Structure 1
Amino acid sequence: MSLYVLLASLLIIAAIVSTGVAQRAGVPALVLFVGIGVAAGSAGVPFTNYELGVNIGMLALAVILLSGGLDMEAALFRASLVPAGLLATAGVLLKTGVMGLIAWWLTPLDLLGGLLLGAILAPTDAAAVFSVLKGCGLPKRLQGVLETESGTNDPISIYLTILLASALTTGTASVGTMAGGVVLQLAVGAVLGYGMGRGLVLLINQVRIDSPGLYPVLALAGGLLTYAATDLVGGNGFLAIYVVGVVLGNAPLVHRHNIQNFMDGVAWGAQISMFLLLGLLVVPADLIPHIPAALLLTVGLVLVARPVSVVLTLAPLRLVGERFRFSLREQALLSWAGLKGAVPIILAMVPLVNELPGSTFIFNVTFVCVVVGTALQGLTIVPVGRWLGLATTAPPPPPLRIELAGAAPPGSAVLDVLLEAEAPAVGERLAEIAIPPHMIVAALVRDGTLIAPRGHIRFQPGDHVYVLTENADGERPPDAFVAPPETPEVST
């Protein structure tokens, strides 16, 4: 037992240390996690239980979705739901069809096997999208669509994989039943996720616990309870736990930052564990013969299947209204940022568990496609976004984080505001600025120095201003600290 703990600890430490290297080099950390797992497997760390790998991967994905939902703004989620929902359903169907034809043409798989590979490669991955897009400077509108799509496109992919695997095993499958099942799963998941999320908010705010460290554990347990209960009654647990995260992240909540910090750490732990495990399942020597086919399929996926699905799925929305129209540049960025991750590799284990013909080929090709595609797209998202004129330089992280610990009233918080040169407060003294009565300037950080906010202090561009407010939910900083909005350009 001690030997396994020793090996696991060394692998996790190596993965965590590699995140710093990945950030400096611009390489998606998830690729390095998989690489460490592959290296450990090649060095003799044994793990070949595919069924256990599927179960661990699904549980890790649920935790990642809960954390991602906590960081999602409710208004952005609502604005993104229609286009993201279409990409997560019709878009997945289109990608499956296009990739199925490409795989049928380029690989030894028959049409049904090609469609199975297409279904496996179709979903974008929540862990990859959340981690890679954070701090990329992409427009919030597009980032919201990509994150919401990645949080909701697993049900249709899982259903299609099961449908096609069943067809290959038994020779029969009911498309109508499966289609109805997808709709029912999504509806049940959304309803139970929202209802149980609201109940969890009430419980967290009303229960009195002496140890503040138990509140994040309560939030995690409540999210996993929702995931499991929804799955047991026939709903989609992944959508349900994501909705719970969105509800928790946008409701007045005690110990909010404590919960978010804890869940961020747990989500990273889940990502590391999941990708290390997936790496351990791979035999590098088995990948080599399949690399040419995998590279061709990666090109087909990135340059053909994903763009076709984005363009055809979003085209009807142009008839609905201006808010749902996406320019050609925006569609190009949405196509390029469809990152893959653990979900396709987990789904690729389903044929192995069922011992389907060509299952080893499907798993190895999927693994190479995911690693190469994620590395390629993750490294180039920011340059492509800037080339398209859509990505901006992300603001620097705050040098200081001030949080309200203990049983602070729900909704109260400290807002961190970075003063831009155009903000009305720049050049003015604090005493001359109108601050709403329910707010107070609590601190000021300038060039790494903490400054007490006295009335004679004159604000400068780049100052980090910390504003204490009674109700941060739906609140914005004082107008004097916010630069006036730019006149929007007409998209072409």
Structure 2
Amino acid sequence: MTIGILLAGIIVVACVFLNRATQKAGLPVLVAFIGLGLLFGTDGILGIYYEDYETVEKICTVALIFIIFYGGFGTNWKHAKPVVSKAILLSTLGVLFTALLTGLFCHYVLHFGLLESFLIGSVISSTDAASVFSILRSKRLGLKYNTDSLLEIESGSNDPTSYTLTILVLTMMTSGIQLQSTLQFIILQFAMGIFFGFIVAYGATYILKKIKLTADGFDLVFLVGIALVSYAVATYFNGNGYLSVYITGIILGNQKMANQKAFVHFFDGITGLMQMVIFFLLGFLATPSRIPDIFIPALLIMIFLTVVARPFATFLLLKPYGCKFKQLLLVSFAGLRGAASIVFAILATVRLNDLSIDLYHIVFFIVLLSILIQGTFLPKVSKWLDMTDKNIDVLKSFSDYSDEVDLRFIKVNLNSSHNWINQEIKNITLPPDTLIILILRNKEKIIPSGKTILREGDQLILSAYKYRGENQICLQEYIIEKGSEWIQKTIKDFSPKANELVIMIIRDSKTILPSGDTKIEEEDILVLYTNELVR
């Protein structure tokens, strides 16, 4: 147990450092995670033999839930709305056409069994949200004609279609082909997925807005639970859990809620961890010595996907919108395969023990090639096609963009002696670059105007720019211990050095902004500003 925890810690730390190394080398970081898994695996340096596909499938399913949830949560609907119809076509019919064409290629060219061919097509038919998000964000790749938003929504929303096709083919392989039950299955998958996605999302929104959770950070824990509930309840009623999770993510991510920025940063981190887990396990489960046996068919499938299937679906569905030729070429090239394909391949391997093809290693090699070739050259192809735009910040298409402003909020209490009392806001003098944005009066919230009159007892919320300068603000703590000479003395009597100032008192876990007459008590923590750096 201890050794397992130690190895897990080493792996995570190694992934973090590999992230930096691959960025400098210009390679997608996901390749590094796969490579690390190979080092630990059967044919690697450590040679750990592991083929528990069932356990890995469960782990990867949970990881994929968070990746898809964040795919929705991080999408800014306002910026994505102009391209949503195109993205939905690509994520539904585009996935279907890609799966069908790839299946026909595998059957008639590679001579695989018919259903096994369509199983391969279904498993690898979706583009990978983790890969696309990672490349667009790390390279700050802003693309013309809202192409970045199009790729983000398509890659974030097409996994449910691929999953439905995969389950459908697996059902046919075990129970036979029945047209009526097939149609019922597809309708139920999407209907229940959409229904529970909306129900869970709006239920969670109501709770977050109406009920104050007991402690800071519990709202983050609450959202983690909501993502799991959204998947589980839809799956329980034979719906598409991944579709439910994605819809829940979109709705919650575009609600006006407290701590929105913290939510996005939290899921940014947890999604990064989930990517590490999935791609490490992909390499860990793989046996490179088996690659020669599947090298040719996997390479041909990868080439067909990139050159024929994906471009055919893209041009067929997007050309009627009047999209420019170079945009269609870029969208065709950006069809990276990744996390979802891995999870669905493991799912199929667990459910079927008598496959005549090495499905897992075929998918492994396709994903590896896709990330290496498409992931590495996507920025270069974008520039070659003149599709990049330096004036476009790709983060604008994510919901945390609006929170990236350098504003901070300040609270001011109007006591009986304050000279702003009974004054109109337009007649008072505020510090430069500050603005009164809210007045709290008893239990009432007042949005102020210039004619608003301030009253005794009002709490004013002011906004001001966050300090960003070359000079560091250094804070030190001075603890008032029992018997200290400063107990019951006032702040104006406290004698710090000439280059120090008491800016805050922490008393019984409460924060006090001191004045000169504030009395110092035992166990107070005085927070001092100093312009001397402590080395």
Q: 2:370 aligns with which of 370, 373, 388?
A: 373
1:333 lines up with 2:336 in the alignment: no
Provide the C-alpha distance between the structure 2 equivalents of 1:102 and 1:380, rounded to a whole number of angstroms: 26
C-alpha contact 2:136 2:394 (8 A) present in aligned 1: no
Residue 405 of structure 2 corresponds to 415
Task: Name the CA distance, whole Å, in 1 between partners of 2:209 and 2:348.
Answer: 45
The 1:166/1:450 distance shift into structure 2, 3 A limit, reads: same
**C-alpha contact (below 8 Å) 1:63/1:267 kept by paired residues:** yes
In the TM superposition, 1:80-479 aligns within 5 A as: 80-134=83-137, 135-139=140-144, 141-170=146-175, 172-315=176-319, 318=320, 324-353=321-350, 354-360=352-358, 362-393=359-390, 415=405, 442-443=465-466, 445=468
Give a deviation string over 1:147-199, Cα, whole Å, max 9, x none.
222222223222222332333344x2224533443343223322322232122
Mapped contact 2:164–2:189 kept (Cα < 8 A): no
- Pick closer, same or farther for the CA change 1:79–1:185 going to 2, 3 Å: farther
- How many residues are treated as equivalent by the alignment? 418
Closer/same/farther in 2, CA of residues 69 and 449 from structure 1, 3 Å limit: farther
Partner of 1:455: none
8 Å Cα contact 2:227-2:248 kept in structure 1: yes
Name structure 1 gaps, 5 residues minimum: 319-323, 404-410, 418-429, 452-492
Q: Which residue of 1 aligns with 2:17?
A: 17
- Residues 366-375 or 384-393, more deviating: 384-393
Give the match's secondary structure for 2:265.
helix
Which moves more between the two structures, 112-121 or 363-372? 112-121
Query: For 2:347 and 2:90, how far apart are their aligned partners in 1?
Result: 24
Q: Aligned equivalents of 2:341 and 2:468: distance in 1?
A: 44
Tell me how far apart the structure 1 counterparts of residues 144 and 102 of structure 2 sit (CA, whole Å).
Answer: 29
How far apart in 2 are the matches of 1:164 and 1:413? 44
By relative contact order (CA 8 Å, sep 6+), the higher-ranking structure is 1
Unaligned segments of structure 2, at least 5 residues:
408-430, 438-447, 450-461, 474-535
Q: 1:394 to 1:40 in 2, by over 3 A?
A: farther
Equivalent AA in structure 1 for residue 368 of structure 2: V
Q: Is the Cα–Cα contact under 8 Å of residues 151 and 239 in structure 1 kept in the other structure?
A: no
Residue 310 of structure 1: how far off its partner (Å): 0.8
User: d(CA) in 2 for partners of 1:413 and 1:87?
Assistant: 30
Seen in structure 2, the aligned counterparts of structure 1 residues 351 and 196 have a Cα distance that, compared at 3 Å, is: closer
Normalising by structure 1, we get a TM-score of: 0.77
Deviation for aligned residue 1:140? 6.9
Residues 106-129 of structure 1: CA distance to partner in whole angstroms, max 9, x if unpaired?
434133322221112211122222
Following the alignment from structure 1 to structure 2, what is the Cα–Cα distance between the partners of residues 178 and 85? 22
Query: Could you say what secondary structure the match of 1:109 adopts?
Result: coil
1:278 alignment partner AA: L
Which is strand-richer, 1 or 2?
2
> CA separation of 1:176/1:326 partners in 2, compared to 1, >3 Å: closer, same or farther?
farther
Residues 194-242 of structure 1: CA deviation (Å, up to 9, x unaligned):
2321221222233333531222111111221122112212222212222
In the TM superposition, residue 311 of structure 1 has moved relative to its aligned partner by: 1.0
Question: One-letter code of the match for 1:14?
Answer: A
Supply the distance in 2 between the matched residues of 1:245 and 1:31 (Cα, whole angstroms): 27
Matched, 1:79 2:76: no
Deviation at 1:341, TM superposition (A): 0.4
Task: Identify if the C-alpha distance between structure 1 residues 445 and 84 changes in structure 2 by more than 3 Å, giving closer, same or farther.
Answer: same
Give the SS at the match of 1:415. Answer: coil
The 8 Å contact of residues 307 and 335 in structure 1, kept in 2 or not, is answered as yes
1:32 equivalent in structure 2: 32
Q: Please name the residue that 1:51 is paired with.
A: 54
Q: Distance between the aligned counterparts of 1:238 and 1:81, measured in 2?
A: 18
2:480 equivalent in structure 1: none
User: 1: distance between equivalents of 2:218 and 2:151?
Assistant: 32
1:440 Cα deviation from its structure 2 partner: 5.2
- Which amino acid is the alignment partner of residue 94 of structure 2? G
Q: Is the 8 A contact 1:155 1:182 kept in 2?
A: no
Kindly tell me: are residues 3 and 111 of structure 1, through their superposed partners in 2, closer, same or farther at Cα, counting changes over 3 Å?
A: same
Q: Is the CA contact (8 Å cut-off) linking 1:98 and 1:305 kept in structure 2?
A: yes
Distance of 1:132 and 1:58 partners within structure 2: 23
Alpha-carbon separation, structure 2, partners of 1:108 and 1:31: 30
Match of 1:477 in 2: none
Instruction: Please identify which structure carries the higher helix content.
Output: 1
| AA of the residue aligned to 2:91 | A
- Give the distance between the partners of 2:322 and 2:237, measured in 1 at CA: 37
Would the alpha carbon gap of residues 200 and 168 (structure 1) be closer, same or farther in structure 2, given more than 3 Å must change?
A: closer
1:351-395: CA deviation from partner (whole Å, max 9, x where unpaired): 4221133242x2211110111112111111111111112112377
Query: Would the alpha carbon gap of residues 276 and 433 (structure 1) be closer, same or farther in structure 2, given more than 3 Å must change?
Result: closer
Could you tell me whether the CA contact under 8 Å between 1:53 and 1:278 is conserved in 2? no
Tell me, in whole angstroms, the C-alpha distance in 2 between the residues paired with 1:181 and 1:78: 29
The whole-number CA distance in structure 1 between the counterparts of 2:98 and 2:239 is 24
Task: Output the aligned Cα RMSD.
Answer: 3.1
Kindly indicate whether the alpha-carbon contact (under 8 Å) linking 1:81 and 1:148 is maintained by their aligned counterparts in 2. yes
Contact 2:164-2:240 within 8 A present in 1 as well: no
Does the Cα contact within 8 Å between 1:230 and 1:237 map onto a contact in 2? yes
Q: Secondary structure at the match of 2:405?
A: strand
C-alpha distance 78-175 of structure 1, shift in aligned 2 (>3 A)? farther
Residue of structure 2 in register with 1:459 after alignment: none
Deviation by residue 1:15-53 (Cα, 9 ceiling, x = unmatched): 121111122222111121111111111222342111222
CA, structure 1 residues 2+118, in 2 after alignment: closer, same or farther (shift >3 Å)? same
Identity in percent: 29
Q: TM-score, normalised by structure 2?
A: 0.71
**Counterpart residue type for residue 31 of structure 1:** V
User: Using a 3 Å threshold, how does the CA distance of structure 1 residues 131 and 394 change in structure 2: closer, same or farther?
Assistant: farther
